[in-house]
Structure 1
Amino acid sequence: MARSNEAISDSSVVVKRPSRWTRARVVLSSMWAHGTGRFSLIVLGIWVVVAIVAIFWTPLPLNYSNGFEAWQGPSLRHWMGTDGTGADAFSWLMSGSTVNLIIAVTTVLFTAVVGLLMGSIMVSRSTMLSHGAVVATDALISVPTVLIALMLAAPFGATVKGMIFACGLGYGLNLARVARPSMMLAARSPYVESARANGASAVRVFFAHIIPNAKPVIIVQLSLSAATSLLAEAGLTYLGIGVPSGEPSIGRSISTSVGLISIHPTTVIWPGLVATVLVVAMNLFGDSLRDALDPLRNPALRRIGQPQHDQANTAQHASVDDIATTTDMKEVQHAAHQ
């Protein structure tokens, strides 16, 4: 029986690496299966759709204003009312969602570049370089993002680029500092030392071995930077160093009406509610994505990476096992008769 099983070729086990599409489908399905993930996907999906639609269409033009319609409440013509100039609040909020989406995505990309660059220096094999990067990061993190934006606004004025640079720099340094323990643990691991001994370059080691081990921390921090960039935009715009006057954004919709919140609260409630929901959704999205990408927390992700048995060889295994079982039973019966 043992010899019969050994005769079966090892080719019966076919290791198939799942495609990126399969992996992405499993991750999205896992996120959708949980309430927090479903909520974040729905909210962020609506945000993206509205932001794209606002590029080509809004209920009323942004340059439309009518003094006789100033501070009106919600109606069929103005779904969220009007501001002090008679402009449609919903149209400005739609266009503002496009600007905020661009700010969030750009801030996340810049945060990732700064964070990974500083993180690679922090886990450098050079002790002096690593400690110097840690000290420099701690010193720069102590500088508030608002102060960096003020320093940039002095020579360049209130620009979206300056706000993105200030947010990306601050969040990127924080990302590097938070992810450093995970990166250090991976950089000192035996498999990284083995990869270096086999001639792997420092860049390959960092991207192929160190970053994947720090991926959960990086995902959460990037989602947090996207959410915080929306709050930073609202705060910096209110201070006059964010989105320039005349350009739509969620922060601009809040800042233009916050002075009269006690008289006309709806003009502030709507953009404030949108900002709150988006911030919560982005935070939940990061947590859900982290859990869905973790094979230890996502059984479906483990299953697609397991070896698969070829059907023909599996049937052959079954036939051999049946024959062996029948033979063993006959031998037992023959021994019993004797």
Structure 2
Amino acid sequence: MMPRWLRTLLSTRTGLFGVAVVALIVLTALVSLLWTPFDPMISDVRGRWAAPSWPHLLGTDGTGRDILSLLMAGARTTVFVAVGSAVVATVVGIALAALGALTARWLRETVAVLVDILIAFPVLLIAMMISAVWGGSLWVVVFAVGIGFGVSMARVTRPELRRVQQSDFVVAGRAAGLSTGQNLLRHLLPNIAPVFIVQLSWSMAVAVLAEAGLSYLGFGATLTEASWGTLLADLQRYIGVHPLTVVWPGLAITVTVLGLNLLGDALREATDPTLSRDADRLHEPVVIA
């Protein structure tokens, strides 16, 4: 039996589009681990700048590499950065939100000030600063974006935790002997999940953009790692001569970010019971006296 939230998610166009895009990217990344039409790292100078045709369905770049193979291999990088950043952001966000909502007053205020300070630093700037010290790599992007958006999620979810903490079922849980951590896992986190899901999907979308931007600037993926941002940087110099080649990596980034954003909005509508009640009220018959 399909869960209700999943039926609601798939019944909307935005949710269906988001699920389809994310599933396609993940499937492409998994397939690229086992097979790509050509080796994405091998150049063929005699076949450079080939137009889209068989066997190069999307053409080749200036060194003769197959663009479709590069996009498929770049999907692995995109999935790795998006999932890795989401994991880091979840850990950081929940930890800071819990410390800022469920602890003593002096610690709550200290965490709130710390979050306000950290949120003032742009994520890309943090990643570039770390890259300048430790060198550019995908791990730098994952931790920089994860920490940056973990702070943002903490700022948004902290008031929600404070609100839910005053609910009767949380008070009853404390009276029943549940510890703060047990109450957090059983009652608080499930009730702030809709807000957290939207923030998490947004962080994954921006992680894709951040990875592409940092790789474009040379602070992200290395030369031995396929990346949509690196491919875009290589091809944009020849946009006046071969404009079609630039379209493919740019389109991949755009569609992926759009899919993640729409999926987050659809998940919020599907999992937030208050939105469901509001939607039901819109369809209730109204009697006008």
For 1:146, the aligned partner's letter is: L
**CA drift at 1:233:** 0.5
- Say if 2:210 is the partner of 1:227: no
User: Which stretch of the first structure deviates more once superposed, 108-117 or 209-218?
Assistant: 209-218
For 1:173, the aligned partner's letter is: V
Helix, strand or coil for the counterpart of 2:273?
Answer: coil
Give CA-to-partner distance per residue, 1:293-320, whole Å, 9 cap, x none. Answer: 2334458xx9xxxxxxxxxxxxxxxxxx
Helix, strand or coil for the counterpart of 1:257?
Answer: helix
Instruction: Work out whether residues 30 and 298 of structure 1, in 8 Å CA contact, stay in contact via their aligned partners in 2.
Output: no
How is 1:109-120 mapped onto 2 (pairs within 5 angstroms)? 109-120=87-98
Which residue is equivalent to 2:284? none
- Say if 2:257 is the partner of 1:279: yes
Instruction: Work out whether residues 243 and 252 of structure 1, in 8 Å CA contact, stay in contact via their aligned partners in 2.
Output: yes
Which stretches in structure 2 are left out of the alignment for 5+ residues?
Answer: 281-289
Which residue is equivalent to 1:127? 105
CA RMSD of aligned residues (A): 1.6
Structure 1 residue corresponding to 2:82, chosen from 104, 113, 118: 104
How is 1:203-282 mapped onto 2 (pairs within 5 angstroms)? 203-282=181-260
User: Which stretch of the first structure deviates more once superposed, 30-39 or 287-296?
Assistant: 287-296
Instruction: Work out whether residues 104 and 227 of structure 1, in 8 Å CA contact, stay in contact via their aligned partners in 2.
Output: yes
Q: How far apart, in 2, do the equivalents of 1:233 and 1:125 lie?
A: 35
| TM-score of the pair, normalised by structure 1 | 0.79
Which residue is equivalent to 1:60? 38
**CA drift at 1:292:** 1.5
How is 1:159-174 mapped onto 2 (pairs within 5 angstroms)? 159-174=137-152
Give CA-to-partner distance per residue, 1:19-75, whole Å, 9 cap, x none. Answer: xxx4x5432222121111111111111111111111000001123311122222211
Percent pairwise identity:
38
User: Which stretch of the first structure deviates more once superposed, 32-41 or 162-171?
Assistant: 32-41
**CA drift at 1:77:** 1.6
Q: How far apart, in 2, do the equivalents of 1:52 and 1:25 lie?
A: 26
- Say if 2:81 is the partner of 1:93: no
Q: How far apart, in 1, do the equivalents of 2:55 and 2:268 lie?
A: 42
Instruction: Work out whether residues 128 and 214 of structure 2, in 8 Å CA contact, stay in contact via their aligned partners in 1.
Output: no
Q: How far apart, in 1, do the equivalents of 2:185 and 2:267 lie?
A: 20
Q: How far apart, in 1, do the equivalents of 2:192 and 2:73 lie?
A: 36
For 2:171, the aligned partner's letter is: E
For 2:151, the aligned partner's letter is: L
Which residue is equivalent to 1:182? 160
Q: How far apart, in 2, do the equivalents of 1:212 and 1:25 lie?
A: 16
How is 1:303-322 mapped onto 2 (pairs within 5 angstroms)? none
**CA drift at 1:192:** 2.0
User: Which stretch of the first structure deviates more once superposed, 115-124 or 197-206?
Assistant: 197-206
Which residue is equivalent to 1:136? 114
Give CA-to-partner distance per residue, 1:182-204, whole Å, 9 cap, x none. Answer: 11101233332332232210101
Structure 2 residue corresponding to 1:289, chosen from 262, 267, 271: 267
User: Which stretch of the first structure deviates more once superposed, 288-297 or 152-161?
Assistant: 288-297
How many pairs does the alignment contain? 278
Instruction: Work out whether residues 218 and 230 of structure 2, in 8 Å CA contact, stay in contact via their aligned partners in 1.
Output: no
Which stretches in structure 1 are left out of the alignment for 5+ residues?
Answer: 1-21, 303-338
User: Which stretch of the first structure deviates more once superposed, 240-249 or 259-268?
Assistant: 259-268
| TM-score of the pair, normalised by structure 2 | 0.91
Helix, strand or coil for the counterpart of 1:214?
Answer: helix
For 2:204, the aligned partner's letter is: A
Q: How far apart, in 2, do the equivalents of 1:59 and 1:39 lie?
A: 27
Q: How far apart, in 2, do the equivalents of 1:149 and 1:297 lie?
A: 37
- Which one has a bigger Cα radius of gyration? 1
Which residue is equivalent to 1:192? 170
Give CA-to-partner distance per residue, 1:81-105, whole Å, 9 cap, x none. Answer: 1111110011010010011111111
Helix, strand or coil for the counterpart of 1:87?
Answer: coil
Q: How far apart, in 1, do the equivalents of 2:41 and 2:272 lie?
A: 48
For 1:62, the aligned partner's letter is: P
**CA drift at 1:168:** 0.2
Q: How far apart, in 1, do the equivalents of 2:103 and 2:70 lie?
A: 51
Instruction: Work out whether residues 102 and 180 of structure 2, in 8 Å CA contact, stay in contact via their aligned partners in 1.
Output: no
- Say if 2:10 is the partner of 1:32: yes
Instruction: Work out whether residues 83 and 257 of structure 1, in 8 Å CA contact, stay in contact via their aligned partners in 2.
Output: yes
Helix, strand or coil for the counterpart of 1:112?
Answer: helix
